[in-house]
Amino acid sequence: MSNDLTRLSAADLAAHLVSGEVSSVEATQAHLDRIGDVDPAVHAFLHVSTEDALATARDIDSRRAAGEDLHPLAGVPIAVKDVVVTKGLPTTAGSKILDGWIPPYDATLVERIRAAGLPILGKTNMDEFAMGSSTEHSAYGNTHNPWDLDRIPGGSGGGSAAAVAAYEAPLAIGTDTGGSIRQPGAVTGTVGVKPTYGGVSRYGLIAMASSLDQAGPVTRTVLDSALLHELIGGHDPRDSTSINEDLPLLVDAARQGAIGDLRGLRVGVVSELSGEGYQEGVSARFAESLDLLRSLGAEIIEVSCPHFKYALGAYYLIMPSEASSNLAKFDGMRFGLRVEPEDGPITAERVMSATRGQGFGDEVKRRIILGTYALSAGYYDAYYGSAQKVRTLIQRDFDAAFAQADVLVSPTAPTTAFKFGEKLDDPLAMYLNDVATIPANLAGVPGMSLPNGLSDDGLPVGFQILAPAKADDRLYRVGAALEAALENTWGGPLLAKAPELEVAR
């Protein structure tokens, strides 16, 4: 029974909870057991909050028994990426510099999760401060891809994607600055959505790049993402960049899409996001998915976004610039790690320097140095200024493309999961992983990755759908339609093809 409960989608588990077949304590315990069984091998979690999760589950069960009106996802457990602050639960953002820090407040999205009564199973592993595409930059060890434990689970949100792929959680929260939800989704065979910028509150997300960061759902099905997205999304007065409008109806869009009728839909294939540099199996699965969409009635057209080729360059100026400033607060003065210099006087400046020197990993330092340089007097216009101009051009490319097509599509990542260490010494190769996902962050438009098959190496491949800002519902309609068609050809979910993980005990 326990094993079965972890295989259910969040929507199905929620239905079981509502019908009373299963209690939240049973469901939560099943996932905690699963974490105990497989996480020693997967290492998706940095912290497992057993007591906290079970207390929430008990509370929901008794409220349900009392006939209280509960949120549709009440009692369904969830995992939260460690970059999101959680009151009373350790929050490190994958960095030594926050080792031992217990936040005194909840992020807005965590408040909403708690208010809806979802037991929080724990905090998931990630590249330090969300900087990376493999989770190898975590200060707390690698997360392993459940499809092949010798391979990366993507990043930065490798922990959330792996937790969901390994049935350790039906739902997880990710954050996406340049692809950190979508690329891990692609390489682990899971669904991940980066909402429209401003669609989900950033209050309580430990910022990497404020103008790019967005939190979103990480799940095994499109419908589950819609359910979670509706829970965490919507206006928050504590985030000035939050959109002050109601979300579009996402769950409805997912249910409607699953019917499989895409007649009248124009799907734009971005010519700059395919071809050279994309693994053969990735390109093949992409072409097959286009055929499926066509078979559902969609019209497939090619669109060009000529400035996308500058996106990676612009991203690697804007992101580190903002990060260099956002990460300045980690100085050992008020919270987290504090390192005193080994010799010489103990001054504030020297403590800051020693703390940052010891507390930050190499990739974080690399980006702080890049950003500090890009913002420096005399270089600002050439670097940060030019990058912002590129950003405007990319937004215009999107505007023009969305005038022709309702959604844009591409492979999510150029390759399947690579082996640990393969790209660690080559930052540029690592950065290229995000070439297809970064344009959406620069323009603030929403994007989804859903699994669309296995490459020749037997590893999962992701299909990316992009929609205009504030039209996140289109992702769910098209995603659910494609998901249904794909599962029809596979005879079930893709994750069913993943090898069974060995149980630790």
Partner 1 sequence: MSAHATVDLVDYDEAVRRYDPVIGIEVHVELGTKTKMFCAAEVEFGGEPNTQVTPVSLGLPGALPVVNGKAVEYAIKIGLALNCQIAESCRFARKNYFYPDVPKNFQTSQYDEPIAFDGYLDVELEDGTIFRVDIERAHMEEDAGKNTHVGGSTGRIHGAEYSLVDYNRAGIPLVEIVTRPITGAGERAPEVARAYVQTLRDIFRALDVSEARMERGNVRADVNLSLRATPESPLGTRTETKNVNSFRSIERAVRYEVSRQAAVLDEGGTVIQETRHWHEDTSITTAGRVKSDAEDYRYFPEPDLVPVAPSRDWVEQIRATLPELPVARRNRLQGEWGYADAEMRDVVNAGALDLIEATVAAGASPAAARKWWMGELARYAKTSETELAEIAVTPTQIAQLQALVDSGRINDKLARQVLEGVLAGEGDPEAVVVARGLEVVSDDGALLTAIDAALAAQPDIVEKVRSGNMGPIGAIIGAVMKATKGQADAGRVRELVIERIG
Residues making contact with partner 1 (CB under 8 A): 84-85, 91, 93, 98, 101, 103-105, 107, 202-207, 209-211, 237-241, 321-322, 324-325, 328-331, 333-335, 348-349, 352, 372, 375-377, 380, 384
Q: 2 vs 325, which CB is nearer to partner 1?
A: 325
CB of 271 to partner 1, least distance (A): 31
Give the whole-angstrom CA distance, residue 226 versus residue 240. 24
Q: 204 vs 216, which CB is nearer to partner 1?
A: 204
Q: 221 vs 324, which CB is nearer to partner 1?
A: 324
CB of 79 to partner 1, least distance (A): 18
Residue from 23, 81, 123, 201 carrying the catalytic annotation: 81
- Told to judge if 156 belongs to the known catalytic residues of this protein, a careful annotator would answer yes
CB of 337 to partner 1, least distance (A): 12
Q: State the burial class of residue 70 (Cβ atoms within 10 Å of its Cβ: 0-12, 13-18, 19+).
A: middle
Q: Let me know: does 142 contact 53? Beta carbons within 8 Å.
A: no
CB of 341 to partner 1, least distance (A): 15
CB of 59 to partner 1, least distance (A): 25
**3-class DSSP assignment, residue 222:** helix
CB of 209 to partner 1, least distance (A): 8
- Told to judge if 449 belongs to the known catalytic residues of this protein, a careful annotator would answer no
**3-class DSSP assignment, residue 200:** strand
Q: 238 vs 294, which CB is nearer to partner 1?
A: 238
- Told to judge if 81 belongs to the known catalytic residues of this protein, a careful annotator would answer yes
Sheet architecture: strand order including 171-176: 45-48, 120-124, 78-81, 171-176, 214-219, 191-194, 447-454, 460-466, 407-411, 266-270, 299-303
The token duo for 44 is 């998706």
- Closest by Cα among 273, 270, 305, 304 to 395: 305
The token duo for 267 is 């799907």
Give the whole-angstrom CA distance, residue 144 versus residue 503. 15
Q: 48 vs 110, which CB is nearer to partner 1?
A: 110
Q: 291 vs 381, which CB is nearer to partner 1?
A: 381
List the beta bridge partners of residue 409: 269, 465
Q: Let me know: does 392 contact 386? Beta carbons within 8 Å.
A: no
Give the whole-angstrom CA distance, residue 21 versus residue 8. 13
Residue from 9, 49, 180, 225 carrying the catalytic annotation: 180
Read off the amino acid at residue 156: S
Residue from 156, 289, 449, 455 carrying the catalytic annotation: 156
Active site residues: 81, 156, 180
